[in-house]
């Protein structure tokens, strides 16, 4: 796993751990609410075939359901759709 991904996972873990610890310290911890929130989690994993799938087109299709995105998300995707997969990836890494 790339270090950048490991770092994001660790940061997310620490955020939730610290939030739970702080709520326990403040006597605001509610196990039922935590379990309810965890029960509502939905995880989607999409595996793309390198060189075959276009991530920007897939993003556009998935988002056609009306999920609210920032204007910058939409503009970024629209711009990147005009480039090949390799160029999309490089541009995304460099500018976003």
Residues 6 or more apart whose CB falls under 8 angstroms from that of 55 comprise 48, 85, 88, 89
pLDDT for 19 = 92
The closest of 21, 12, 92, 9 to 54, measured between CA atoms, is 92
pLDDT for 85 = 72
Contact 45, 56 (CB under 8 A): no
0.85 exceeded by pTM: no
Helix residue ranges per DSSP H, 1-96 = 3-25, 31-40, 55-62, 71-80, 85-95
pLDDT for 64 = 67
pLDDT for 90 = 81
pLDDT for 26 = 93
pLDDT mean values, one per 10 residues, the chain (96 residues): 81 91 92 89 78 76 68 74 76 76
């Amino acid at each position: 796993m790339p270090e950048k991904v490991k770092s994001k996972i660790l940061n997310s873990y620490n955020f939730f751990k610290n939030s739970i610890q702080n709520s326990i310290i403040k006597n605001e911890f509610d196990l039922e609410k935590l379990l309810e929130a965890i029960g509502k989690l939905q995880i989607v994993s999409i595996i793309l075939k390198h060189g075959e799938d276009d991530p920007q087109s897939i993003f556009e299709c998935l988002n056609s359901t009306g999920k609210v995105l920032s204007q910058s998300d939409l503009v970024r995707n629209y711009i990147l759709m005009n480039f090949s997969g390799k160029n999309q990836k490089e541009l995304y890494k460099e500018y976003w």
